[in-house]
Amino acid sequence: MIPINPLVMVPGPTPIARSIQDQLGRETISFNDPRFVSEFNSLILELKTLWRCDGMAFVIAGSGTMAMEMAVSNVAARGERVLVCSNGHFGDRYIDICSRKGYDLDAIKAPWGASVSLDEIDKSLSEKKTAVLVVTHVETSTGVMLPLLELAEMTRRKHPEVLLVVDGVASAGAAEFYMDWGIDVMLTCSQKGMGMAPGLGILWASKRAIQKRLSMPPIAESFLDFAKWIPVMEDAMAYWGTLPVNMIWGLAEAVRIIKEEGLEERIRRHRFFASAVRRSVSSLGFRPGTPDDLAAPSVSVFFYPEGSGINDTRFRSAVYDEGAHVSACQGDFTGAGFRIGHMGNLTPSMVVSLIAAIERACVRCGCRIKLGTALAVLQEELVGG
């Protein structure tokens, strides 16, 4: 039997383009080699320009969780009030991160599958002096997207003293945001909407965020300190920690692909694929885990049909055997459905393969469906789009 290499359709990592893989496989050179220094400096400028950042972009070896900690540690001092808004598992993770830092911490939690409202946030910010507001743009565990532009406008207009920190792990490169909306720190990682391999934390910090850090005393998180990394981001010939040369080459190629496609077109493509996947999977009787107005362009949750008797582990294993890797649900949704990541450098043929694998898995698990139902919906979307 010919071995199957399942298509990666989890909420990160995402499929990696061949040209990015080629960059990852280059012969390594020193981080202070003039050739690499020039390439790194260009990458930092590209990141700032594409996402309209007036401060500094940071590229650091580490995970998205590391970037979450780095983002808040550099703009919130011990004793200051930090308000964290959670729409699910990773919002709760941010609450846990902040609970260890000696902040005056408050949290607002939305029911799973819903979003914290702007009115709730406004009310909390109005009641008590707050230094930092932390939100998640796209909640990977639920597929909920926060209305970030409206939130940033409200915060800037009514609470201009509050610094806005945004977890963009599942949105950067897939959903629209720009730093000049009024975002102070945005964080992401390399393996989701950016379409690269895991291993890099990426942050954008506004001038105001940089000024806040430089006005603070030394922070406990030495490796994550903006003040330590700013000289390196300004000129890679400087040194604080060894830059992951091959990973940065891969990210530079990922950014080149984003530029070539066009950031606005890339965001449109993500919205289009998300809608197509949502409609096609729903046609089989699966129920989306989020309402249309909160649906993210990068990740979707689907619940098993009521009374179907589908075993979660068996179904996802069947999808895997049929050639696509989807994810289990988390938290309150555990066992009730599955998650699909539809972000990064996806092509129509990848999405067709995904939906075909889901249809075949349904048959293998005893679901009464008509083969081709979801594929027909998808193909109509692709032709019409």
Cβ atoms of 385 and 272 within 8 Å: the answer is: yes
What is the Cα–Cα distance from 98 to 69, expressed in whole angstroms? 8
CA distances from 48 to 20, 32, 59, 342 (A): 21, 22, 11, 25
Q: What is the CATH number of the domain that holds 344?
A: 3.90.1150.10
Out of 245, 261, 277, a domain closes at 261
pLDDT of residue 140: 98
| 328 lies in some domain | yes
Do 71 and 101 lie in one domain? The reply is yes
Give the ranges where the chain is alpha helix by DSSP (H): 18-24, 34-50, 64-73, 89-99, 118-127, 148-158, 207-215, 226-234, 245-261, 263-282, 312-321, 348-364, 373-384
* Dihedral class, residue 237 (left if φ above 0, else alpha if ψ from -120 to 50, else beta): alpha
- DSSP code per residue over 283-298: TTT-EESS-GGGB-SS
Is the four-CA dihedral 232, 165, 43, 340 of positive or negative sign?
positive
Note whether residue 109 is domain-resident.
yes
Same domain, 369 and 353: yes
Asked if 67 contacts 188 with a C-beta cutoff of 8 angstroms, the reply is: yes
- Which of 302, 307, 325 has the alpha carbon at shortest distance from 374? 302
Instruction: Supply the DSSP string of 14-61, one letter for each residue.
Output: ----HHHHHHHTSPP--TTSHHHHHHHHHHHHHHHHHTT-SSEEEEEE
The predicted structure's pLDDT at residue 185: 99
Instruction: Work out whether the CA dihedral 22, 24, 27, 31 comes out positive or negative.
Output: positive
| Any domain includes 80 | yes
Count the domains in the chain. 2
Residue 1, domain member (yes or no) = no
Q: Are 268 and 353 part of one and the same domain?
A: yes
Reading the block at residue 79, the tokens are 């004793």
The sign of the CA dihedral 279, 281, 284, 286 is negative
Residues 253 and 267 in one domain: no
- Show which of 229, 261, 293 is a domain's final residue: 261
Per-residue pLDDT, 169: 98
3-state secondary structure of 197: coil
Pairing of strands 337-341, 327-328: antiparallel
User: How far apart are alpha carbons 335 and 351 in whole angstroms?
Assistant: 24
Q: With residue 203 as reference, give the H or E element that holds it.
A: strand 200-205
Low pLDDT (below 50) residues in the chain: none
Task: Summarize pLDDT for 157-203 with one digit per residue, the tens.
Answer: 999 999 999 999 999 999 999 999 999 999 999 999 999 999 999 99
**Cβ atoms 338, 315 nearer than 8 A:** yes
| Residue 335 burial (CB count, 10 A) | 11
Distances (CA, A) of 133 to 161, 169, 275: 10, 17, 30
Structural contact between residues 138 and 290, judged by C-beta atoms closer than 8 angstroms: no
In a domain, 55, yes or no: yes
Q: What pLDDT, on a 0 to 100 scale, did the predictor assign at position 68?
A: 98
Q: Are residues 68 and 85 in the same domain?
A: yes
> Does 332 share its domain with 243?
no
Nearest-10 crossing angle of helices 89-99, 64-73:
50
Given a contact cutoff of 8 angstroms between Cβ atoms, the answer to whether 372 and 331 are in contact is no
Say if residue 272 is in the same domain as residue 254.
Answer: no
Q: Is residue 250 part of a domain?
A: yes
| Inside any domain, residue 2 | no
Task: Please check whether residues 278 and 323 belong to one and the same domain.
Answer: yes
Tell me the pairing of strands 287-288 and 327-328. Answer: unpaired
Same structural domain, 273 and 175: no
Is residue 173 located within the same domain as residue 296?
no
Instruction: Give dist(CA 254, CA 59) in Å, integer.
Output: 13
Q: Are residues 189 and 209 in the same domain?
A: yes
CA 200 to chain centre: 13
What CATH number is attached to the domain comprising 170?
A: 3.40.640.10
Q: Could you tell me if residue 134 is inside a domain?
A: yes
Domain that holds residue 235: 18-261
Residues 188 and 223 in one domain: yes
* 261, 277, 292 - which closes a domain: 261
User: Do 110 and 116 meet the contact criterion of CB atoms below 8 Å apart?
Assistant: yes
